[in-house]
């Protein structure tokens, strides 16, 4: 009887310990689609069980970047599978710089001087890159070089047909199918109020298709890919995920979305439907830019 009571009180303690109170001010909460708050351990278990994880971030969100690093650290401890880190923030023609830096052929300063880094690299992405380098994880540059995406925006998809064979190595194989009816692409066009026309959608699509291409190109048996990208590239299983599932079946794909709200304890369930798990951060949280 004493043992049963002890277990009861222990379970009650866990419920109280992991259920946020109304007067709490959590730095973040993790929700599933059912509106239930889950633990970091629950999140990690899902990521460990997945072949491809897409961490959709808000690019300047400090909590998202911290959580990415923590997940990569824990994935690295799993010796049953090889973990790769894919990143929207690096373009395919930068892969040689990443590989040379990780192999010790060039210095950190040479890498950072030449790699066309995002302005928040030092605070937000460098910790993940350096952990990967120090622990033998491969970082995959998945994005299309921005000059080609920009050219599509200004000149349309046909401009890709005029590129050299060498240039075409840095993007998804042509022709790239684009479904302009996908809600995510339609929302992008609507948000731009018609500026850019279909080319705005095409420029987004060539990024999504290229990231999907280089993710699949680097996946071998028993590999795991942890991909970091803006939320709009993977929400609602569109964007990169749409191109992956259009190309190959059978991968266990898990997605994370990041949102900010006034009160993480009060979230509309509709806001939790874009991904398997939603990282909810207070709108007053410090940002990196």
CA distances from 173 to 168, 178, 205, 277 (A): 7, 13, 13, 31
For residue 11, the model assigns a pLDDT of 42
CATH architecture under which domain 41-282 falls: 3-Layer(aba) Sandwich (3.40)
- CA distances for 248 relative to 68, 163, 176, angstroms: 26, 27, 15
Half-sphere exposure of 102 (CA within 13 A, CB side): 20
User: What is the pTM for the complete model shown?
Assistant: 0.91
Distance CA 239, CA 205 (A): 7
What is the pLDDT at residue 24? 84
pLDDT of residue 3: 41
How far is the C-alpha of 88 from the C-alpha of 249, rounded, in Å? 22
pLDDT at res. 111:
98
Three-state secondary structure call for residue 54: strand
User: What residues does each domain of the chain span?
Assistant: 41-282
- Predicted confidence at residue 158, as pLDDT, reads 97
Report mean pLDDT in 10-residue bins for the chain, 289 residues. 40 46 85 98 98 98 98 96 98 98 98 98 98 98 98 97 98 97 92 84 98 98 97 98 97 98 97 98 97
* Confidence (pLDDT) at 21: 59
Instruction: Give the per-residue pLDDT at 224.
Output: 98
């Amino acid at each position: 009887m004493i043992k049963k009571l002890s277990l009861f009180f222990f379970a009650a303690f866990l419920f109280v310990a992991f259920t946020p109170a109304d007067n709490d001010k959590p730095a973040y909460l993790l929700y599933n689609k059912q509106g239930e708050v889950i633990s970091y351990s629950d999140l990690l278990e899902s990521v460990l069980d997945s072949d491809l994880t897409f961490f959709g971030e808000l690019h300047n969100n400090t909590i998202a970047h911290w959580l990415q690093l923590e997940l990569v650290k824990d994935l690295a401890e799993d010796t049953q599978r090889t973990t790769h880190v894919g990143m929207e923030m690096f373009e395919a023609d930068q892969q040689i710089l990443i590989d040379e830096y990780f192999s010790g052929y060039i210095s950190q300063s040479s890498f950072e001087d030449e790699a066309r880094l995002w302005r928040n690299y030092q605070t937000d992405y460098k910790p993940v890159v350096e952990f990967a380098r120090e622990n033998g994880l491969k970082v995959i540059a998945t994005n299309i070089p921005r000059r080609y995406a920009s050219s599509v925006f200004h000149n349309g998809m046909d401009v890709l047909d005029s590129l050299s064979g060498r240039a075409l190595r840095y993007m998804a194989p042509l022709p790239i199918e684009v479904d302009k009816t996908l809600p995510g692409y339609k929302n992008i066009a609507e948000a731009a109020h018609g500026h850019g026309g279909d080319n705005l959608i095409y420029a987004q699509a060539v990024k999504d298709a290229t990231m999907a291409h280089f993710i699949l190109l680097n996946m071998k048996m028993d590999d795991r890919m942890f991909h970091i990208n803006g939320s709009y590239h993977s929400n609602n299983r569109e964007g990169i995920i749409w191109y992956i599932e259009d190309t190959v079946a059978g991968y266990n794909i898990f997605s994370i979305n990041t949102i900010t709200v006034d009160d993480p304890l009060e979230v509309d369930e509709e806001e939790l439907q874009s991904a398997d798990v939603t990282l909810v951060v207070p709108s007053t949280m410090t940002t990196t830019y």
